[in-house]
């Protein structure tokens, strides 16, 4: 029996088609989850994805060396307000560079929207992304993916990296952010210096008022107690009292001599009167000093308390004036400053996207996903067959 060649060829072609269909059916999930995404990734990263240039700069926040005697008003204020070490300041700068305020301030100097929406970018990468609008919030979200500021623990420096689609725009954005960081440090310096001077001036004003109050109280007490200087007045009273006592002693000796030689001498009554008068004067002078509620001794305690208050207030005022002057001197010096260690560079080659690595990453991820799904499906079929 002869076979028709045409029928044989048709049968062979049909067999090949069936075999191809079976093969495609068998590997359809592998093609859907691995081959197709890998081809898309290869097409995007190999042909479509735009070059991204990264400009990098490095800086450090420094503070001038201060002696341990920096117990000045400004030194104390720096610690009390948390405006302490350069590391703390670097954290504040990093927080600012990542903030909406930094984006808003940078937009006034550089056209950030135009830089991120550059014609050099591919349609999947440029701002706004396909799921974004042209709002400021979406721009800030995009800004966060293109700007990175973080400390380098190995060197102690802060690294600022800015990505853009042209070298010039990356460098311009980085330089603009560095300038904003320097201005923020200057504003913080000015704020702390102003606060230090204001607080030192407040202390001076309070000390001056305390001195005035102490002087007024001391003057009022002098007037009410009729006491100018207890020490001098006490010395005067003692000098007068001693002189009267000496006179009294001389008269008593004279009286005793007259009584011994002439008991009936007519001068004796007069001497007695004089001695009695001197005794009364001595008692009065002694009473002015001690032994009476109005004596100098009774008044000197309150006087000395008021005098000590006045002297302490004057010493406080002297110290406050010195602190104010020190605060003014230190205010003329920059307490913290941003030092550029590495200036923003103009990249001569794009370092992103990492095309081959990205393609391999997609292939690996899709393979892992496919294998997980395949193992799950095998497990499900095995359990179904057992049931």
- Assess whether 277 and 361 both reside in one domain: no
* Residue 22 or residue 287, greater confidence: 22
Q: Is 294 in the same domain as 242? A: yes
273 shares its domain with 365? no
Q: How far apart are the first and last CA of the chain?
A: 51
DSSP 8-state class, residue 345? P
Residue 205 lies in a domain: no
Same domain, 277 and 360: no
**What backbone phi and psi angles, to 5 degrees, belong to 222?**
-60, -40
Let me know whether 253 and 303 are in one domain: yes
Could you tell me if residue 369 is inside a domain?
A: yes
Residue 193 contacts residue 335 (beta carbons within 8 Å): yes
Q: What's the domain count of the chain? A: 2
Please give the pLDDT value at position 172.
Answer: 95
Per the structure block, which two tokens stand in for 376? 């799950």
How many angstroms separate the CA atoms of 137 and 354, rounded? 28
Q: What's 332's DSSP letter?
A: T
Do 276 and 362 share a domain, yes or no? no
Q: What is the pLDDT of residue 158?
A: 92
Statement to judge: residues 278 and 316 lie in one domain? yes
Task: Flag whether 342 is in a domain.
Answer: no
Confidence of residue 262 (pLDDT cuts 50, 70, 90): confident
pLDDT score for 328: 78
**Do 300 and 366 fall within a single domain?**
no
Instruction: Determine, yes or no, domain membership for 167.
Output: no
Are residues 303 and 233 part of one domain? yes
More confident call, 328 vs 234: 328
Please give the DSSP secondary-structure letter assigned to residue 201.
H
**Domain boundaries, position 45:** 33-49+355-373
Asked if residue 331 lies in contact with residue 196, where contact means CB atoms within 8 angstroms, the answer is yes
Sheet holding 158-164, edge to edge: 147-151, 158-164, 53-62, 337-342
Mean pLDDT along residues 257-280: 74
- Measured between alpha carbons, how far is 295 from 298 in angstroms, rounded to an integer? 5
In a domain, 93, yes or no: no
The conformational region for residue 244 under phi > 0 = left, psi -120 to 50 = alpha, else beta, is alpha
3-state percent helix, strand, coil for the chain, nearest multiple of 5: 70, 10, 25
Does residue 188 fall inside a structural domain? no
Both 325 and 360 in a single domain? no
pLDDT tens for each residue of 156-186 = 899 999 999 999 999 999 999 999 999 998 8
Q: Is residue 272 part of a domain?
A: yes
Asked if 274 and 311 sit in the same domain, the reply is yes
Please provide the average confidence, as pLDDT, over all residues in the chain.
78
Q: Does 38 score more than 80 pLDDT?
A: yes
């Amino acid at each position: 029996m002869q076979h028709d060649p045409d029928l044989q060829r048709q049968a062979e072609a049909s067999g090949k088609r069936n075999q191809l269909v079976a093969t495609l059916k068998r590997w359809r999930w592998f093609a859907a989850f691995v081959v197709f995404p890998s081809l898309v990734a290869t097409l995007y990263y190999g042909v479509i994805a735009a070059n991204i240039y990264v400009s990098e700069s490095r800086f450090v926040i420094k503070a001038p060396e201060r002696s341990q005697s920096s117990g000045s008003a400004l030194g104390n204020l720096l610690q009390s307000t948390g405006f302490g070490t350069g590391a703390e300041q670097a954290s504040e700068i990093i927080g600012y560079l990542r903030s909406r305020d930094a984006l808003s301030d940078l937009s006034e100097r550089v056209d950030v929207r135009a830089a991120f929406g550059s014609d050099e970018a591919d349609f999947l990468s440029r701002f706004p992304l396909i799921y974004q609008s042209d709002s400021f919030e979406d721009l800030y979200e995009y800004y966060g993916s293109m700007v990175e500021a973080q400390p380098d623990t190995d060197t102690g420096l802060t690294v600022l990296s800015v990505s853009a689609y042209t070298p010039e725009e990356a460098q311009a954005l980085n330089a603009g952010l560095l300038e904003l960081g320097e201005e923020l440090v200057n504003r913080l310096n000015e704020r702390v210096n102003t606060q230090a001077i204001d607080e030192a001036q407040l202390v001076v004003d309070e000390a001056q008022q305390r001195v005035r109050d102490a002087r007024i109280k001391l003057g009022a007490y002098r007037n009410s107690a009729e006491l100018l200087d207890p020490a001098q007045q006490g010395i005067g009273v003692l000098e007068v009292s001693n002189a009267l006592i000496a006179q009294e002693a001389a008269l008593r000796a004279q009286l005793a001599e007259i009584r011994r030689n002439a008991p009936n001498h007519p001068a004796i009554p007069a001497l007695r009167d004089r001695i009695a008068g001197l005794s009364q004067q001595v008692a009065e002078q002694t009473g002015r000093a001690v032994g009476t509620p109005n004596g100098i001794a009774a008044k000197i305690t309150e006087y000395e308390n008021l005098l000590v208050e006045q002297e302490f207030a004057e010493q406080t005022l002297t110290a406050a004036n010195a602190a104010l002057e020190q605060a003014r001197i230190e205010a003329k010096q920059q307490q913290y400053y941003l030092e550029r260690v590495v200036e923003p560079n103009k990249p001569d080659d794009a370092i992103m996207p990492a095309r081959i690595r990205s393609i391999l990453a997609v292939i690996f991820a899709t393979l892992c996903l496919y294998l997980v799904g395949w193992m799950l499906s095998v497990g499900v079929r095995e359990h179904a067959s057992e049931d």
